[in-house]
Amino acid sequence: MSLNILTFLLVLICFPLLLAGLPNPDPDTMQPFKPSTTTIPAFPEQSNLAGCPLDLPNELFHGIKSACGSGSSASGHLHRIRCCPVLAAWLYSAYSATALSRASKVIPGTATGRSPSYDMPLLPDDSETCVDGLSKGLKEKGIELVRPNETCDVVYCYCGIRLHPLSCPEAFSMNQKGNLVGDKRVKKLERNCLSNSHNVNGFPGLGGCSKCLKSLYLLNSKKTLNSSKSEDRTIRIHNKDCQLMGLTWLLAKNRTAYIHTVTAVFRALMMSTDGSDPQSCTLSSDGMPLAVDSSEIYNNSLSIYHQVPIFATMALTCLLNFLLVVPSTKF
């Protein structure tokens, strides 16, 4: 057998193995996440304070697309429990720097011991301008959110996510340097909500989510017992502000460490349909603690790369066989 024929046969045998080892070039899953971020004011001609600066990292776009995008489900329809918690966590993460910087303007006015009247008009709601900024960023990435219908948007109408300056003077205050700081309850919240290596498949366990949820309620120092309806409403809104500020604080402190747990907590809060505070986190119908997000997609894409050395080893074996066969061949 000639050398050319032998070479051809070996290449023919080994080529499919080499081809199988190549990763699928899907840009949505194979692109590594970079820490670079973009701040997008809602209206470029205005200053950042007049608009709504959002921190929009690549992970945000991947997370929202996987949970709320047009290809997030086989039916093409939105799933509230899958989409809304992920959308809320990432949107509050993007809004966290703006929200906490504006909190300093709200806390001094409510630190006198008097309960703010929430029956009066609230400070300007940032939802509309922030959603405009988010929509612009998603559009630039070619991401389209599935709308439940033509008259209802996903963020404000469908998921009920409203962004406004937050205030929780019982747990947060300004120090002498003018920085926003949390008290011992906030420190406990940071410890109990921290994702760790004991999580299952990258998601916080139900016990960890429930522990975080209970720590979140400790930020609320006011109860609704034995009070009038108007006072109840004021206290409920204020307590919700404390919860949102606590979750926003975690996302601003370390988005990577807290994003999974915060998403699970948002899901527990959103599943409560009677307005009460859930005391624990529960599984969804598909057995997932929270919706699939960017980190799971990213980890799955990495597994493809981990297969490459296996096929490279097989190719090397073919080459060694070739080198061993050639000397024994007579021409």
Which residues does 165 contact at the CB level (< 8 Å), separation at least 6? 99, 102, 103, 105, 106, 123, 124, 126
Q: What would the pLDDT profile of 258-302 be if each residue is shown by its tens digit? A: 999 999 999 999 988 777 788 888 765 444 444 344 334 334 333
How far apart, in whole angstroms, are the C-alpha atoms of residue 240 and residue 167?
10
- Mean pLDDT lowest among 19-33, 80-94, 169-183, 250-264: 19-33
Task: For residue 216, give the 3-state DSSP assignment.
Answer: helix
Looking at the predicted structure, is the pLDDT value of residue 212 above 90? yes
Average pLDDT over the chain reads 69
Under a CB-based contact definition with an 8 Å cutoff, are residues 202 and 260 in contact? yes
pLDDT at position 213? 93
How do residues 110-144 score in pLDDT, each as one tens digit?
A: 444 444 443 333 444 667 778 888 888 888 888 88
Residue 93: both structure tokens together: 């993460």
Is the pLDDT higher at 38 or at 79?
A: 79
Tell me: pLDDT of 310 over 60: no
- How many residues would you count in the chain? 331
pTM for the full predicted model: 0.65
* pLDDT at position 192 over 90: yes
CA–CA separation, 127 vs 109, rounded Å? 22
pLDDT bracket for residue 178 (50, 70, 90): confident
Mean pLDDT across the stretch 33-48?
33
Looking at residue 64, its pLDDT comes to 92
CB atoms within 10 A of CB 321: 13
Confidence at 85, pLDDT banded by 50, 70, 90: very high
Pick the more confident residue, 24 or 192.
192
| Number of Cβ within a 10 Å radius of residue 197 | 4
